[in-house]
Structures are given as structure tokens and as C-alpha cells.
Structure 1
Amino acid sequence: MPRAKTRKEKPQGAPPSVVPVLQQFLKTYQKHCAQSGTSPCPTIQRDLKNSIDREQILRKFTLVRAGDATARHPPVSLEPLLMAIRDERYTLGRELCVWGLQLTNPEIARLALFLESKGHTTCPVTTLEIISCKMDLWSLGRLGRALQFSSLYFLALDYCKFGNKELESIFSGLENNQRLQGLSLRYCGLGPQSGQRLGSVISQSAVCELHLDGNDLQCSGTLALLRPIAEYAEMQGKDQPASASPHTGNLPLLPQVCGGRSSTLSQIAKSSEAVTMKRTSQRKRGERGIRKKVKRLMEAGPWVVMLHLADNSIDGTGVEGEQLLELTGTLTRLIKYSPHLRELDLGNNVLGETAAADILGALRARKTGKLPPLKITVTPRISSDTFTAIWKHSKKSNRTRKRKKKVKN
């Protein structure tokens, strides 16, 4: 008979196993679901069980809707998960993702309290994604107020449709926010009137990674967003040599997000961080470079590192198209002078041949000025020569090639 597989014994002094922690967390989560009359999220349970089997820390919680709610299968709720994190003092989670739920006011209230407990909780999440969820005006206002006191570095509210009042509720929590650095509002129904408000938020906060794909900013909204950023870049570029980028130097590192109230979880977390740092140091510098740099930048101001504006109806048609020329000038100034900008996505916007030629000229001037390379995406609906030239001047993704092992004779 084949022998049963046995787990290898850990050497003395090794950190404690994370398996008992995850098993207890799963039991607590299921208990809170039963007490609240809601269904456990299949994705949460699957991820926990997979992490238990692999003896790995679960960093990301993904809460998704599980079919249509019935009397036999009640809806999935966010509250039991937050209560389990609180009760078990789970200090190892970093990302919380909520997909496709109808979030109630009590759920948002508990989430807001969870985010606001920066000084009390042992390990607040640093990434929050609320994707394609429905929230009323009160919930958005409560969430917006919590952003000022949270430890979030990245917030995504993609596919959540917002009106002017709803947007104002969110933007009020972003003003003068010195911690949040990444914001994603893709396919949120933002119109031209949102551009000026977005520009104001960028100017007064630490947000430097902005994803706005799939909205309807058009020329006027995009111009209002980019104007303060381009003016700042031009002023900085003319005041100092191109080689002395204002973003270089001793930048503050992100603070530690684990307080270590639980000794067992603290030891597990320290061991995991040591392994992560070792693996990160072995990677090449280009891999995921933008996200790493964004996490190091803390200074507020009207500048961006990553800007995605794909599919925003930016073209030369209609009344909005009359501002395309001014927008092109603003774009070229940003490309030419900004040492911070590393990625710009203008795909699915028909800028036209003249605007594309101006962008190509700005890319050449950027190279002449010895600014950092810029990864840029434009629509192919221009002449092949211009498109190819822009593509050649754009920074290419770094793909590491596998080295062939030398065969010893």
C-alpha cells in the first residue's frame, strides 16, 4: 500500500503556522453569516480553504454576489466579513474587494467605522475596490467622510454610476488627503462637468494614479482636468534642469500597517514580509515599476504618474471638438515637461492626425530633455507612419527573457 503523505516538520525557531488562524477565521465568518441570516460568500470560503491547503496567508478578500437571493439562499452581506476580521483581529489582510452587491446603509456604516479605525485596528486594509455596487447618497457621503481618516492607498469605484451629488460626496473625502495615491473611477458616467472637480482634487491631494477609462469627459472635461497638471509641469520644467526631477531624492516610505496586537499573527506577518522583500529584491527593476513608485510618493500637488483616459469621447466633433486644439496644447506641455508622468492612455479617442503629430513632437522633445521614458497609448486611427513613430517613442514593457542553463560537460 502507498504511504500516506505527511507534512514536513518545521525546524525549531520557525514562525507558527497560519493554518489554525485561517481555520478559526473561517468558523467565525460562517458563524456571523448564520447569526445575521445571510449566505457565506462562496469566493471567500474558497479562498480561505485554498490558503489553508497551501499554508499561505490570505491577503485579499473578494466578496461577490452569489446568484439571486431567495428564502433558501439569502443574500451575501459585507457585515459578517468585517465582524470576523474584527473578532479574530486578522492582521494579515491588505485588499478588500466587493463586487456587484446592493450595499445597505448599515453595511456602509460598518465599513466606514472599519476604515476610520486607523489608530485602533491592528492592520487596516490599504486597497478598497467597490465594483458595480449600488449605494445611495447617504452611503456615499458616509464613505466619503471615512476616506479622510482611513489608511487606504488605492480606491476603486468602477462601474458605480454617479450623479453630481454622489460625486461631491466622494470628492469631499479626497480633498487634502495625504495618504490615498491611487483612484479608479472607470465607467462611472462622469461627464464634462466632472473635469474641473477632478483637477481640483488632484491638485490638493496625494493622488497620482488616476484611472478614468470609459467615461464621457470629452474635450472640455479633459482640458479642465489636465490644465493645472500641465501648468505645474511646465513651471517646474522651466525653473530647473530636466535632469533634476522634483520626484527624485529621499522619498518617505509607506508606514508599517501592522500593529501586532496578536503575537502569533505578528510573527507570521514578519516572516511573510521578510520572504516578500527577498523575492522583490530578486526581481528586475522594471517589473511593476509604476505601482512601486506610486506607493513611495507622498507629496501632494497637481501632478500624476499614471493617467488613463481611454474611451472618453475626446475628438474633434460637435461643439466640444472646438476645444480639441487647446486640449492638444495642454497635453503636449504635460508630455514635454512632466518628469513624474510615466504612463498615459488615450486609446479609443479620435484625436486626429494634427493632434497625433503634436504628441509625437512632444515625445521627441521629452527625449531630448532627458526626462524619464513615457508609456503612451493612442488610437490607431491615424496615419501608420505617425502611429508607428509614437509607438517607437513609447516606453515598452520590460519582459525578462529566460536564460538558458549552461550544460556542464
Structure 2
Amino acid sequence: MKTYERHCALFQSSVGVTIKQSLKRCIENEIVLTKFVLTSSENSRGDMQPVSLTPLLRTIRDERYMLGKELCIWGIQLSNQDIANLALLLELDGRTTYPFCSLEIIHTVIDAWSVERLGVALPVSNLRSIVLDYTNLIKYSEHLIELDLDGNAIGELCSADILDALKERLNEKMPNLNIKVTYQISSETFGSIFKNGKKSKSTRKKKKKTTK
């Protein structure tokens, strides 16, 4: 906790209340902290510094904390440097690899450079689950090769956003994506998505036929 507070002071950031509460609860109950939730809703006074991401990332690196699995960033203003630090933490080619397998960034706006930098990190990370609340990653990332939304009830509006992003990729002559999507959208949108991307092949193994 002291390391985190020191980094917050260094980067002129408020201490994340949810992080502080989680750390305190884990210490009191002698349990491991595996899920980090950083949210901007903690700032009730206008004269307080905003909550920043980099102090938390620096703390994880300084402490070489290897037990984190989920990282949730809700409503935090993210700079290019924040995204660069996040990408470095997620990538597996450093001296220390951090086993985060789930990343959630919602109610947050990041620019095209940040989207591209994050896209570079995704294929070389441990991430198995990524939650974003908009489609800029699809639009801009040349490193994104597959989009698996099978089983996710994304709905018609989100499906239309994805379709628009795929069309923009084609207009910019970017590589096609391998795509899996749920059937719980209109047949017109469902078909259009595959016209603007490539249908991902199923990885399920076929059962071998048994002979009597």
C-alpha cells in the first residue's frame, strides 16, 4: 500500500479508493488480491487530483506482484503514456511476465495511437478476455487478427458498430479479421459482417468415428 501511495504522490494522482479498500480487505482476511478495479467515481470533491492508471501499474511492477488476474479500468482518463505502460505490463517479452488474463476498459476514450499500441500488445499477452465499450480497436489496429464474439449477446446496435468498423478497415485496405459472432442478431447484419471479414474456422475437434 505504501508503494502505491508513493507512486500516486509522484504522479499527482488521487489514491484509488477501490484499490485501497481491496488491499485492506485482502490483508485483513489473509487472501490474495487477484482483481484490480480502478474507477474515477471515487472523486467526489472537485479539488482532488484525478485517479490515474500509471501509479497502479508502477506499483505492480515494483512489487513484482505475480498474482493479478483481472484488471478493470472504469472511467479513468488514459494518456498515451498510461497505455504504453499498460502494454508493457501485458506483453510477455519482458524480464518479468505478469499473468493478467482479463482486461476491461469501459467509459474511457483513447486515441488512435493508444488503440494501435494496445493492439500490438494483445497477441503477445496472456489475455483471454477483453472488454471494451467501443470499436476503435477494430478500426485502427493492424495487429488484431481475430475477433471471437461467439456466445456473446452483443445485440443489434453493437453489431452495427462492428460492421461499420469492419467496413472502415476494408476502405483503408487493412488486413481482414477472422470473426466469430453470435446468431442473436438480425440475419442481414450477421451476413454483412462476414462479407466484410473472414469467417473464423471452428477449433473444436471432431469426434473420431468408432469402428466395431
TM range (shorter): 0.7 to 0.9
8 Å Cα contact 1:59/1:95 also seen in 2: yes
Aligned to 1:70, the other structure's residue is in SS state coil
Q: Per-residue deviation at 1:144?
A: 1.1
> What is the TM-score with the length of structure 1 in the denominator?
0.41
Aligned partners of 2:182, 2:9: CA distance in 1, in Å? 38
Higher CA-based Rg = 1
Call closer, same or farther: CA 1:35–1:194 in 2, change over 3 Å: closer
How large is the RMSD of aligned CA atoms in angstroms?
Answer: 3.6
Q: Which structure: greater strand fraction?
A: 2
Paired positions, count: 196
* Secondary structure at 1:193 match in 2: helix
> Does 1:44 pair with 2:19?
yes
- Residue identity opposite 1:169 in structure 2: Y
1:169 matches 2:140: yes
Shift in CA distance, 153/76, structure 1 to aligned 2, threshold 3 Å: same
Q: TM-score, structure 2 length as denominator?
A: 0.75
1:27 alignment partner AA: K
Counterpart of 1:132?
Answer: 107
Match of 1:113 among 88, 97, 111: 88
How has the CA–CA distance of structure 1 residues 118 and 67 changed in structure 2, closer, same or farther, with 3 Å as cutoff? same
- Work out the CA distance in 2 between the residues paired with 1:43 and 1:211: 34
* Conserved? CA contact 2:163–2:193, under 8 Å: no
2:173: which partner in 1? none
Deviation at 1:224, TM superposition (A): 3.3
Aligned residue number for residue 32 of structure 1: 7
Identify which range, 113-122 or 82-91, moves more after superposition.
Answer: 113-122
- One of 156, 159, 163 as aligned partner of 1:192: 163
Q: Is 2:79 aligned against 1:104?
A: yes
The alignment status of 1:90 with 2:52, answered yes or no, reads: no
3-state SS of paired residue (2:72): strand
Which residue of structure 2 aligns with residue 224 of structure 1?
A: 192
Identity of aligned residues (%): 37
Distance 1:211 1:131, change over 3 A: farther
Q: Which has the higher contact order (CA 8 A, sep 6+)?
A: 2
Q: Which residue of 2 aligns with 1:201?
A: 177
Give the Å deviation of 1:63. Answer: 0.6
Residue 177 of structure 2 aligns to which amino acid in structure 1? V
Describe the SS at the equivalent of 1:148: helix
Change (3 A) 1:229 1:136: closer
Give the Cα–Cα distance (whole angstroms) in 2 for the partners of residues 27 and 212 of structure 1.
Answer: 49
C-alpha deviations, 1:61-114, integer Å up to 9, x for none?
Answer: 01101236733x100000000000000000110111101112111111111111
Measured against aligned partners, the alpha-carbon deviations of 1:107-140 in whole angstroms (never above 9, x if no partner) come to 1111111112445224331111111211111111
Alpha-carbon offset, residue 220 of structure 1: 3.8
Match of 1:246 among 205, 208, 211: 205
Taking the aligned partners of 2:92 and 2:149, their CA distance within structure 1 comes to 20
Partner of 1:322: none
Q: Is the 8 A contact 2:83 2:117 kept in 1?
A: yes
Structure 2: unaligned runs, 5 residues or longer: 170-175
Post-superposition offset of 1:201:
2.3
- Alpha-carbon offset, residue 225 of structure 1: 3.4
